[in-house]
Amino acid sequence: MAELTDMTGKAFSRLRFESLLKRRFFFAEAFEIYRTSANAMADNRGLYDYGPPGCALQANIVNEWRNHFVIEENMMELDCTVITPEVVLKTSGHVDKFADWMSKDPVKGEYLRADHLIESVLEARLAKHRATDGEQKAGGLDDDTANEYGEILAKIDNYDGPALGELIKEHDIRNPNGNGEVLPPIPFNLMFKSTIGPSAAAPVYLRPETAQGQFLNFRRLLEFGQGTMPFASASIGKSYRNEISPRSGLLRVREFLMAEIEHYVDPATSKSHERFSEVEQINLPLLDKGTQLSGKTDIAIMSISEAVQMGLVENETLGYFLARVYLFLLNIGVDKSKLRFRQHLDNEMAHYAVDCWDAELLTSYGWIECVGCADRSAYDLSVHSKQTGTALVVKEPLAEPIEVEEWQATLDKKLLGPRFKKDAKKVEDAMASLEQETLENLGAELTEKAVITVPTEELTNGETSVELSGDICAIKKVTRIERLREYTPNVIEPSFGIGRILYSLLEHVYWYRPKDVARGVLSIPISVAPTKVLIVPLSNNASLQPVVKKLAARLRKLRISNNVDASSSSIGKRYARNDELGTPLGITIDFDTVSDGSITLRERDSTSQVRSSEDEIIQAVCSLVDGSESWEQVSQRLPAFTGQSQDD
Amino acid sequence: MAELTDMTGKAFSRLRFESLLKRRFFFAEAFEIYRTSANAMADNRGLYDYGPPGCALQANIVNEWRNHFVIEENMMELDCTVITPEVVLKTSGHVDKFADWMSKDPVKGEYLRADHLIESVLEARLAKHRATDGEQKAGGLDDDTANEYGEILAKIDNYDGPALGELIKEHDIRNPNGNGEVLPPIPFNLMFKSTIGPSAAAPVYLRPETAQGQFLNFRRLLEFGQGTMPFASASIGKSYRNEISPRSGLLRVREFLMAEIEHYVDPATSKSHERFSEVEQINLPLLDKGTQLSGKTDIAIMSISEAVQMGLVENETLGYFLARVYLFLLNIGVDKSKLRFRQHLDNEMAHYAVDCWDAELLTSYGWIECVGCADRSAYDLSVHSKQTGTALVVKEPLAEPIEVEEWQATLDKKLLGPRFKKDAKKVEDAMASLEQETLENLGAELTEKAVITVPTEELTNGETSVELSGDICAIKKVTRIERLREYTPNVIEPSFGIGRILYSLLEHVYWYRPKDVARGVLSIPISVAPTKVLIVPLSNNASLQPVVKKLAARLRKLRISNNVDASSSSIGKRYARNDELGTPLGITIDFDTVSDGSITLRERDSTSQVRSSEDEIIQAVCSLVDGSESWEQVSQRLPAFTGQSQDD
């Protein structure tokens, strides 16, 4: 794999990058002060706190997300409860199927996620193989084996538990910590469990996704939208997954912020999307299923309309959302060259999905799934509807009523009770549950033999079928007029992991100035930058203080977040600190400000400066923040500041 | 108690109000479709989902909160993890003390919160007494008993578990459901418990407040703020309390959004606050401790500066926050006449608080605590510091170094090891942990008797003290120069229950037009209204559609949330629906719009309308939304629309 480079083309140093994030408190391991003490904290990994810049960046990303998706498309936003009763997640399949495969090292007492164990061991062997370049016998991997490993890794997500167990046996995969053998993989459910209420009898889970709450409110949402289809609901909130072995910082955590859209669409019309024409020319980097199964990872760049026409992406609706996701990620500052859409392999998909494309971002940890776009079909609405007996369907008046011919069975109620007594209800239910095709066959049989046998639930005499003769039972073809069309919508779900996006974005915008390797710069776009403006008084002289206060208050009133740094450090140091915080603009107040009212505005990435009156500068700040002007435009319009360079 | 009235002075009907909230999907019980089925949902009360208008209102309230507190005062916002290891909450006292008193009805198998049980039974008896007005013997409550009940209710929050048990016995309080006797109250811990990691050995809780995460990050926050004091951190996020018996809709729930501020202040200077002068003239409605203990609930209205001077409110810092909370609540639309600040009684306070004032809002459920302003002193920082061995203190350079005289003990290290062997460390620790006063006494004793006895941890010989003679031990008075002052800050904590505020606000802004009793109006201020503008085309005629689309897109670009209602209902009905959603502005597009470009703007509360060009109307919408103009100003400036009244 080619070496990862930063936006200026220099090698990316994760060490320096992470040191910056920690130093500037973007985030930190939760309960940090407890981790160094004797308190038992071994299994509390995968939990992070966001500090002020991380928290503001997260809030701004969420805000952009809300504008880009919810407000732009009039989605119905919900805030649903995290605590979820067991029956809901039993129905959705999560209690039985939302699990990862886990292998135990019985000697060390460690639990290892099976696919990650195989990945890390094979990758380590391959790395050793490449390093020795076939010259040494030690480490001895022949080229065929190396190729085999490469193919396994390309489709690692396609193996189920037993297959992972086979790989572990076949390739003698052991726990890297101590080299002990591990037990065959068993499934480990990823949901956190608790109980609710004082009786402790009611089991609940923390939701593993926000989706279920949205599905359960389908009827209310449809009514709120006055019946219009298609429509989308959306939700932003925390979800929880009890990962077997969290790692990679923010990329695999146990508590995380999600933003999910559920787009409900008539399966008869999902092939087309009303606003597809707005995005059809957008080129996307795609890595489809077939390419991966052939053991390759080549990306094809093509317009989304081409991808849909070729059948690579199943329909316009899914295609529309892929393009919208792409635009969103670029808007908030993701590096276009470190973004791809990868299609899920069949065994990799969640139990509810029929097709899925992930937006993946390239980081120093490899390609990371940051957005999943899944076609969940009618799976969830159907299972909840069945379990609750509540119709989760759309009813649409037909343009023209249609005649429907169908087979109908009737029972003579007067004879039914006396003849079947306690079993009467079961016989009735058995008849009502018969499919059209069965009814047609039974109808013919009844005409022919005057008696039919119908399967039932277990009856009082222990039988599981009943004989019905023509005196009590009739089966006829009838015609009825249908005025409504009824259907269960399909659901297209773009699902965003905000923490993963935030971390990957930070890697993408990190670089350093050649003259100052130890300090970094975060070129976060102004729209999502944690703080928009830094205000620095040249000195602590009392005459500057009222100007600083007034300016800060004025910016606050315009709802432009700002920070004053009146510390005794040099101006250069204060700017360098804020370059690390990703603050895009800096205003310097000096003694000339007191006399002539002029102030200096500095831009983070270029470090170039302009100087003008407070009103002019504030107006420029406003248009930079709302995106109506670029720095290039501002710096052409306003006089450059040619005084002493304050970055020295 | 006087009858509760709405903002127009008419009797408040909770029935009609709640019907509106449900009809318009502000919120709904979570898992609603499961509640009607045979699924076991008995103990899953107290969980709610917010629908689109509730969710938008909540987001807007949070946004105003962030502007009013976080941005205005440069607070450091954090987003900390909900899942919290047991050791953290053991240290904070929550594992042992965060409990309510619960009485079980053994016959019904019901669990009842003891104070609520007593309240509801006594209130029912009083209501019956008042209804019969002393005329009937049945229900027989003499006036003395009635007065006694009144006094108990006024200070119900001041009884602990055993005292509640006494009340239950003395007044024969029984379960209203079945009249069964209940068992004496026992404490029930309110935290949800789970385990983390595959070994299931690590117990965790869902946080009951956001505060602990903020305290644990104290060191990083102080460093981020470059050491400046005082400063504040803030956090917005979900917290969880496993209430014994949730009731009163959104007012007592098990999962809720909190917004909390932790203001860290030097105890030596907390009496004064830098910005107190900005709020000192604000009059607050106060109900202090003394008044309540005398069995009364009279509110005193006085300026916050007077309240601080009188010692009613302990210091300027607490007073400043009470005033800021007051301004925030009025800003978002709370009714001034339904707001009071009530001081906590001594037994009512949380285990960590030394003083507390609640902002309470009057609702149809009575006065509801919506914001708590607690003085947590140095409690939390101290206990976490002790448990982790991490100093959570502020170090300030002293203006002038000071000389400190202190007693110091030294041990002769050469003799220590040989003489005490394995116990040497314990002896050293024992000496190091002695207080100044003890050292002074021991010093005198050592001079006098040449030998002292020092208590230790258990030694290898089973003893818990040791004799030390003058050859190995010396105790002397020394003088050292101190250049730093070190202190643990006090914490003032304003803590907001966003769901309670949201519900109370909705009650406050609800009314109905005399001509249409069945439909309500929610006069939510434009700053927090879920949707700002409704766009209604007069008819479904195709010529209006492009105008509607263009207008909606234009408003979206200005980030003004809007909804189009192109349904076939009459314009009046469409407006009435949006009055119930609290949409403050409505724009009508009609056939004149197509010919002359003019559009009509309607205001929700007055239903008055103006008409002008699209540009003028959009400009008016912008200034209404950003608060720079009122409707009165707009309607004086722009021509009134005197066409057909569209509200008929």
Residue A431: both structure tokens together: 């008849």
- Whether residue B319 has pLDDT greater than 60: yes
Q: How many CB pairs under 8 A join A and B?
A: 250
Pick A77's closest partner by Cβ from B56, B219, B237: B56
Contacts of B387 in chain A (CB under 8 A): 34, 37, 39
Q: Is the dihedral of CA A375, A380, A385, A390 positive or negative?
A: negative
Which residues pair with residue B341 across a beta bridge?
B286, B359
How distant is the alpha carbon of residue B92 from its chain centre?
Answer: 18
Q: Do B85 and A48 touch (CB under 8 A)?
A: no
Q: DSSP of B240-276, one letter per residue?
A: E---SS-BTGGGB-SEEEEEEEEEEE-TTTTT--TTG
Q: What is the mean pLDDT of chain B?
A: 91
Minimal Cα distance from B113: which residue of A?
Answer: A198
Over residues A516-555, the pLDDT tens digits come to: 888 999 999 999 999 999 999 998 888 999 999 999 999 9
A451 against B334, higher pLDDT: B334
Minimal Cα distance from A569: which residue of B?
Answer: B226
Superfamily of domain A531-637: Anticodon-binding domain (3.40.50.800)
Over residues A370-417, the pLDDT tens digits come to: 999 999 999 999 999 999 889 999 999 998 998 988 898 889 888 888
The answer to whether B385 and B407 are in contact (CB under 8 A) is: no
- Whether residue B186 has pLDDT greater than 70: yes
Q: Do B238 and A238 touch (CB under 8 A)?
A: yes
Q: What is the 3-class SS of B467-524, one letter each residue?
A: EEECCCEEEEEEEEEEEEEEECCEEEEEEEEHHHHHHHHHHHHEEEECCEEEEEEECC
Cα dihedral angle (B34, B35, B36, B39), rounded to 10 degrees? 60
- Whether residue B137 has pLDDT greater than 50: no
Q: Which amino acid is at A351?
A: H
- Whether residue B231 has pLDDT greater than 80: yes
Highest mean pLDDT of the ranges A402-416, B18-32, B146-160 = B18-32
A130 against A258, higher pLDDT: A258
Span(s) in chain A for CATH 3.40.50.800: 531-637
Q: Do B192 and A196 touch (CB under 8 A)?
A: yes
Q: Which of A65, A55, A61 is nearest to A581 (CA)?
A: A55
**pLDDT given for residue B157 in this prediction:** 82
SS3 A515: coil
- Whether residue B323 has pLDDT greater than 90: yes
Q: How close, in Å, is residue B290 to chain A by CA atoms?
A: 35
- Whether residue A648 has pLDDT greater than 70: no
- Whether residue A341 has pLDDT greater than 60: yes
Residue A188 pLDDT level (bands cut at 50, 70, 90): very high
Q: How close, in Å, is residue A31 to chain B by CA atoms?
A: 6
Minimal Cα distance from B39: which residue of A?
Answer: A87
Over residues A34-69, the pLDDT tens digits come to: 986 555 556 788 999 999 999 999 999 999 999 999
Topology of domain A14-88+208-380+492-497 in CATH is BirA Bifunctional Protein; domain 2 (3.30.930)
Contacts of B25 in chain A (CB under 8 A): 220-221, 223-224
Minimal Cα distance from B60: which residue of A?
Answer: A63
Q: What is the mean pLDDT of residues B202-228?
A: 95
Helices B545-557 and B614-625: crossing angle in degrees, nearest 10, is 40
Hey, of A23, A31, A37, A205, which one would you mutate to test binding to chain B, going by the most B CBs within 10 A of its CB?
A: A31
**pLDDT given for residue B425 in this prediction:** 86
**pLDDT given for residue B39 in this prediction:** 52
- Whether residue B152 has pLDDT greater than 70: yes
Over residues B519-528, the pLDDT tens digits come to: 999 999 999 9
- Whether residue A137 has pLDDT greater than 50: no
Q: Do A87 and B25 touch (CB under 8 A)?
A: no
What value of ipTM does the predicted structure carry? Answer: 0.87
**pLDDT given for residue B42 in this prediction:** 62
Q: Do B83 and A254 touch (CB under 8 A)?
A: yes
Contacts of B213 in chain A (CB under 8 A): 30, 49
Q: What is the mean pLDDT of chain A?
A: 91
Q: Do A43 and B390 touch (CB under 8 A)?
A: no
**pLDDT given for residue B625 in this prediction:** 96
A585-599, B194-208, B517-531: the lowest-pLDDT one: B194-208
Residue A646 pLDDT level (bands cut at 50, 70, 90): low
Q: What is the mean pLDDT of residues B455-470?
A: 88
Pick B49's closest partner by Cβ from A40, A217, A240: A217
| CATH hierarchy code of domain A397-483 | 3.30.720.200
Pick A194's closest partner by Cβ from B37, B84, B194: B194
**pLDDT given for residue A139 in this prediction:** 55
User: Burial of B346 by CB count in 10 Å (0-12 exposed, 13-18 middle, 19+ buried)?
Assistant: exposed
- Whether residue B648 has pLDDT greater than 60: no
Minimal Cα distance from A41: which residue of B?
Answer: B85
Span(s) in chain A for CATH 3.30.40.230: 99-189
| CATH hierarchy code of domain B400-482 | 3.30.720.200
- CATH class of the domain comprising A99-189: alpha beta
Which residues pair with residue B640 across a beta bridge?
B610
Over residues B347-389, the pLDDT tens digits come to: 777 777 778 999 999 999 999 999 999 999 999 999 999 998 8
**pLDDT given for residue A229 in this prediction:** 95
- Whether residue B235 has pLDDT greater than 60: yes
**pLDDT given for residue A644 in this prediction:** 57
Contacts of B28 in chain A (CB under 8 A): 217, 220
CA separation, residue A122 to residues A61, A103, B466 (Å): 37, 16, 60
**Contacts for A81 with CB less than 8 Å, ≥ 6 apart:** A207, A213, B30, B31, B47, B48, B49, B255
Contacts of B47 in chain A (CB under 8 A): 81, 83
Which residues pair with residue B645 across a beta bridge?
none
Span(s) in chain B for CATH 3.30.930.10: 14-95+191-380+492-498
Residue B430: both structure tokens together: 């024992």
- What is the value of pTM for the model shown? 0.88
Q: Do A43 and B206 touch (CB under 8 A)?
A: no
CATH of B14-95+191-380+492-498 among 3.30.700.30, 3.30.930.10, 3.90.1200.10, 3.40.50.2300? 3.30.930.10
Q: Do B387 and A39 touch (CB under 8 A)?
A: yes
Hey, of A29, A43, A64, which one would you mutate to test binding to chain B, going by the most B CBs within 10 A of its CB?
A: A43
Q: What is the mean pLDDT of residues B83-105?
A: 93
Q: What is the largest CA-CA distance in chain B?
A: 110
Q: How far apart are CA B17 and CA B511, in angstroms?
A: 9
Check: CATH 1.20.1740.10 for B103-189? Answer: no
Q: Do B199 and A111 touch (CB under 8 A)?
A: yes
B52: number of CA atoms within 13 Å, CB side? 28
The answer to whether A381 and A209 are in contact (CB under 8 A) is: no
Residue B406: both structure tokens together: 């202190």
Q: How far apart are CA B237 and CA B220, in angstroms?
A: 20
